[in-house]
Amino acid sequence: MERIAVLGAGSWGIALAQLLANNGHEVTVWSVIEDEIKMLKEKHEHVDKLPGVKLNDSLEYTTDLKAAMEGKKVLVLAVPSPFTRSTARSMKEFYNKDQIIVNVAKGIEESSLLTLSAVIEQEIEGSNVCVLSGPSHAEEVGRGLPTTVVVGAKKKNDAVFLQNLFMSEVFRVYTSPDILGIELGAALKNVVALAAGIADGLGYGDNTKAALITRGITEIARLGTAMGGKFETFCGLTGIGDLIVTCASMHSRNRRAGILIGQGKTYEEAMAEVKMVVEGVYSAKAAIGLAEKYGIKLPIIEQVNHILFDGMPAKEAMFNLMLRDKKLEHPDIEWEE
Biggest alpha carbon distance in the chain? 73
DSSP 126-165: T-EEEEEESS--HHHHHTT--EEEEEE-SSHHHHHHHHHH
Task: Please confirm, yes or no, whether 189 is among the known catalytic residues.
Answer: yes
- Rounded-to-integer distance, Cα 231 and Cα 271, Å: 32
- Rounded-to-integer distance, Cα 6 and Cα 4, Å: 7
| Coil vs helix vs strand at 322 | helix
> Strand pairing of 147-152 and 128-133?
antiparallel
Q: Exposed, middle or buried, 62 (CB in 10 Å: 0-12/13-18/19+)?
A: middle
DSSP 169: T
- Rounded-to-integer distance, Cα 228 and Cα 230, Å: 7
> Which residue in the list 49, 72, 106, 189 is annotated as catalytic?
189
| Coil vs helix vs strand at 5 | strand
Which residues are known catalytic residues? 189
